Amino acid sequence: MIKANNPDLTSWITVPQNSDFPIQNLPFGIAENAVGKKFVATRVGDTVINLSVLFQHGYLNDLGFNLSQFDTYRLNPMMKSGKLAIRSLRDRLSHLFSTNTSELQSNTPHTQEASHALSDVTMCMPIEIGDYTDFYSSKEHATNVGTMFRDPNNALLPNWLWIPVGYHGRASSVILSGQDIHRPKGQIKPDPSADPIFSASRQVDFELEMAFVTFEGKALGDSINTTEAEDFIFGLCLFNDWSARDIQSWEYVPLGPFLAKNFASSLSAWIVTLDALQPYAVSTPEQKPAVLSYLEFEGEKSYDINLEVALQPNKADETVICRSNFKYMYWNMAQQLAHHTVNGCNIRCGDLMGSGTISGPTEDSYGSMLELAWKGTKPLKLSKGEERKFIQDNDTVIMRGHCMRNDIRIGFGEVKAKLLPSK
């Protein structure tokens, strides 16, 4: 087991009950203090720790890093050091914050300088995203969509059970949790027998996803196999890949989604390392037919991450409308990365890979309004009696996720955004 994952560890930093961020988590993010200074941070409970301060005082300077990798506005420079270096960094942070050691705890000036209350900092975009790829890897989701829009008896397209289907998205419109978005506009075709019209989308939707962030990959022309794929994965975050269903249904043939997807995708502020998630690894669902050789893998490559989506109308209470789990995904991350690079495509440090909508086997585990309200034919009831077929103006969508085992909860916080009227 990775030392930092030891379930017996406790921290001298206060951790509220049911916090997503015990000492076993130690995620990474970018925080900004009250005077506008950005820095690489980790978090224990509701305390945000400035790693550049720890480095300057000698707590981290024998791990192969330099100050510029922590005194910066993105995680990419730190991530350039690779998986083993990040693992050693988490181990050191675990040591420093553990009740078993007094090295940092006893130095009050250093502790005060490095520590910030969560309420005193602003969380920032954690990574510089070079490229963004979105997959389509939930069998339940693909089956539901195929049933609604094509032939229920042949819901999955012929290639779906053979390859982790994906497409290249737009990195420029990936935004941080808390940033509101405007209802997108484009061509829609509400009357199948009439010409399309230009309009604000009438069917804005969320997509419940996880996303993983990569370390530096291999050179152009080389491939990453499933055995080594997780060595190239830095960590995961929550991801809401917003969608405009009516724009998408008109535009997606023959090249797939375009304006329906590139207007916004929201991610959570903290990146939870893949190392921290190892205790929650589980088996991938059975894959039939047998996959081709380059997609074969050994061991547990899926992760038991409980997920939920809440919808909050303007100035009203939220209603949890979906409970799902990342473990339902038919194609795992190792297979996605292996397929992405099998043709020699090179990935770079900070590339973002969306899982695709995460839907489970029951109606309350479907990961989109399209499925939950079944193309608008089964409106959802909210807590105050309101109904929703799709997201309305001034609705806020909130996604949360966590793992739980041996009373240790490793979570991601939340990703949230409000849908504002179109401009």
CA 396/CA 382 separation, integer angstroms:
13
pLDDT of residue 384: 86
Of 298, 280, 289, nearest in space to 338 by CA: 298
Q: Which of 124, 153, 182 is the last residue of a domain?
A: 124
The pLDDT tens digits for 338-393 are 999 999 999 999 999 999 999 999 999 999 999 999 999 999 999 889 999 999 99
Residues 107 and 198 placed together within one structural domain of the fold: no
DSSP per-residue string spanning 324-356: EEGGG-SS-HHHHHHHHHTTSPPP-TT-EEE--
- Say which of 110, 141, 340, 402 is annotated catalytic: 141
Does the structure show a pLDDT above 70 at 162? yes
C-alpha 40, offset from chain centre:
19
Q: Which of 73, 107, 124 is the last residue of a domain?
A: 124
The average pLDDT across 88-106 equals: 97
Confidence at 1, pLDDT banded by 50, 70, 90: low
The pLDDT tens digits for 236-289 are 999 999 999 999 999 999 998 999 999 999 999 999 999 999 999 999 999 999
Determine the structural domain holding residue 192 and report its residue range: 132-420
Q: Which of 85, 107, 124 is the last residue of a domain?
A: 124
Strands laid side by side in the 319-325 sheet: 181-182, 408-420, 396-405, 306-312, 319-325
- pLDDT exceeding 90 applies to what percent of the chain? 96
The average pLDDT across 76-85 equals: 98
pLDDT of residue 355: 98
Question: Cα dist. 30→71, 74, 181, 275 in Å?
Answer: 10, 6, 22, 19
Q: Which amino acid is residue 14, in one-letter code?
A: T
Answer yes or no: 57 catalytic.
no
CATH number for the domain harbouring residue 240 = 3.90.850.10
CA 167/CA 255 separation, integer angstroms:
9
- pLDDT exceeding 70 applies to what percent of the chain? 100
The average pLDDT across 194-219 equals: 98
Query: How many domains does the structure of the chain reveal?
Result: 2
pLDDT of residue 2: 73
Where is 274: in which H helix or E strand?
A: helix 274-277
Does the structure show a pLDDT above 90 at 150? no
pLDDT of residue 406: 87
Does the structure show a pLDDT above 80 at 328? yes
Residues 76 and 200 placed together within one structural domain of the fold: no
Give 109's contacts (C-beta < 8 A, 6+ positions apart).
none
The average pLDDT across 192-217 equals: 98
Q: What is the mean pLDDT of the chain?
A: 97
pTM reported for the whole predicted model: 0.97
pLDDT of residue 205: 98
